[in-house]
Structure 1
């Protein structure tokens, strides 16, 4: 595969990337992720691959695209680079718009995209923003559980560099299928939890607000636990694009077999608080 160009890093924000997050309760973080103005998965997909081709899929909740990553200018604004040496990548938005719950066909598209990235030697980048997978009799009868499992296995097995960016909601196994990557990044307007606050509230017989506050779902919580590798200073397309390109470049220097072995070990080991 063609080496990935490494853009010049942007100047760090005052205080560093891990102190820019506004102090919020868990419930405030969930509400912010659901309501704040920010780019959709589809918008970020096209920012990452301004020149490319969409992959066909039957689920409008998931979008995928293949193309060449842009470079980033000194002012941090991405622009297309279509020269032969530009880096190939496959990007998947799960989901394409906020608040959407992917069904079996969406996870089958994720599986296909992960295998395509590995076959072509391009990086795999996933954009996570979903409260969880589709539920109910229709989804169950269509094989939602098997589709999620297959997608997770495909992402874990991808020989290419893999990067996940949680830029909004990250709910349960439906989001985790796209997050079992070499590197996982989170934005200030995101959260991730094994069970939605509403689902946890029903299970634990607690108010949703109390369940969210106790879940440790904020980006800072998840970074301390080792779930998130880095916290991005913003949710804009330029920041996310720059981070994705930079991390793909770093991962591209590693031996593929070692990288894949480390990825599997990471996602089969319990989280440990780093404090």
Structure 2
């Protein structure tokens, strides 16, 4: 289990995260939601030790992450960031191979190359393996970065807004792929996400953040109710069900005609 307890992070004397506590369990998707500035990305970066918390404990299977080497940590946690460098002059194969860095010696072993080939086939990216990463579409790049994280063979996968720049087809494809990964590999996935309907449909548990704190957490349908969303987001929503899925939509008294 990935466990965060009483986590605090400050930047230039400004408190960004305040006593954050949460758990991510194998076999589930934990969605972290909240408005811009709530602290979602900062929380992920603290868990990964990209940012050093001022206080708190972060453990994986009772091992203290903050006192591990970067190589040891990378064998437990894999990360898919929200954005990539504007130029990434590598082939798809070499980009995914970077995920094997925690296990590499001076050069990749035959087993490393086999694992990369296998994950590219599983994700339907094998036909792109020799293509430059920079030449891919946004959806294809996201799948490549996810493949790079999976070939790392970590037990916990952290993703920061994996659907933010994708069209509807790729959004569903990525989220369905995460569900498949959780079921087949019994991983724990922590995903910071803005789209409440994707979180409602695909997550097992939700942590709702507000101003650097955990406002509430629990099952998606309990956390993402009208009162909580009104308090945290300042927006009124209605809910409806269709084909067994629950959906939210914002309610406003202002329409397009009011501006004409």
TM-score, structure 1 as length reference: 0.35
Structure with greater Cα Rg: 2
Higher relative contact order (CA 8 A, sep 6+): 2
Q: Higher strand fraction: Structure 1 or Structure 2?
A: 2
